[in-house]
Every structure is written in C-alpha cells, then in structure tokens.
Chains A and B, each alone.
Chain A
Amino acid sequence: AQSVTQPDIHITVSEGASLELRCNYSYGATPYLFWYVQSPGQGLQLLLKYFSGDTLVQGIKGFEAEFKRSQSSFNLRKPSVHWSDAAEYFCAVGGQAGGTSYGKLTFGQGTILTVHP
C-alpha cells in the first residue's frame, strides 16, 4: 500500500532563512509526487509535481523539490523564506501502482510552517 510520511509536524524559521520540508514515500511502482500548500480557509494549491525526467523540479513561489529514488524522498526546499510562506504543506503520492490508477492521491500528515519576522 502506498504511504507518505512527513516527519516534521511543525517547523519554525526566521524570515530570510532557508527551508527544507521532508517527505518520504512508500509506493510499489513509479511514483508521481506532489507538494501542495494550504493557507487558512483556502483549498490545496499545487506547488510542484514530479512525474519523470529531471529529479530536481521547480515550482511556484520559489520552491523546488528533489526526487531521490534511493532514499524514497521528495523534500521541498526554498532558499529564502518569506512571511507569506506561513501555511501548511502536504506531500502526496499518486501514480499507476498495479497498472491501474484513477488519480488517487495519498497524502502525508502535513507540516505547519511558522515564519518569524
């Protein structure tokens, strides 16, 4: 069964500092990996996704993530955090396990990011 683990429930950083949010997945086939962000009262907004090709993917708002198959990880990074980045971040996995899939996403627990001025 597919699963996603986000080890950090809550992270606090200072504005301007770098950020790395961790994500580990378990999946029986080639995974499709996603990072979503949720601000209070908002829906889930896609930051970036990995399907194939270059293992370093760029997303919106200056975020990037690196797929490391050997470590089953897809960590999210940003070199300099802005106060507006404070939100909850979700890693998710989907794909074609077993040869069929209809787009089901499996989410991690989420990481709440607090940004100090």
Chain B
Amino acid sequence: LAKTTQPISMDSYEGQEVNITCSHNNIATNDYITWYQQFPSQGPRFIIQGYKTKVTNEVASLFIPADRKSSTLSLPRVSLSDTAVYYCLVGVISGFQKLVFGTGTRLLVSP
C-alpha cells in the first residue's frame, strides 16, 4: 500500500477556496486516489476519486499531476459546515485491499 502524507490541520475562512495536498511518492501504476470527509461523531463519507489529471463533482475537485506523486483536493468557497477531517487514500479499486486510512487533515473553517 502506498503511504500517504497530509498536513495535520488547516485553517480557513468562509468563502475561501481550500486546497489540501496529499503526498504519495510510492503510488503504484494501478492505484487510484480517493478522498473521504468525516464530521464529528460520524463515519467518513466518500467525496471524490481519481486516477490522473482532474476530476470534478458537485462537492470538490481533485487535481493529480502527471507524475501522480501527489494530489490536491480543492474545496471551492468553503462554509462553516465544511469543518471536518479529510482523508486521502491510495490503492487499487479492484481485487483485494485493506482500505487503510491515515490520520487525515483537520480543516477548521471560521466565520
């Protein structure tokens, strides 16, 4: 499994764009990058997944450079409700794998 490294915490203000970067230097050819969001006292929920270049959905965008050794989750115009822990996972999406979470990035959005 590719090891991931994320900042422990980030602070932002309402209305700003937030970019959270995840490093995964030993990502394998078949690995995908997946991000989850977790609110206090809840289980994580899937946000976005990608393999290369850029993926966008109604919640976020995921930017993956050509070498795929890092990825950036972009949250446009955050609100107080985006305060949560964000996890970056790297692994294959077929076959057998452990689905390992790290410690994540704690994002605090202030008024």
Same complex origin of A and B: no
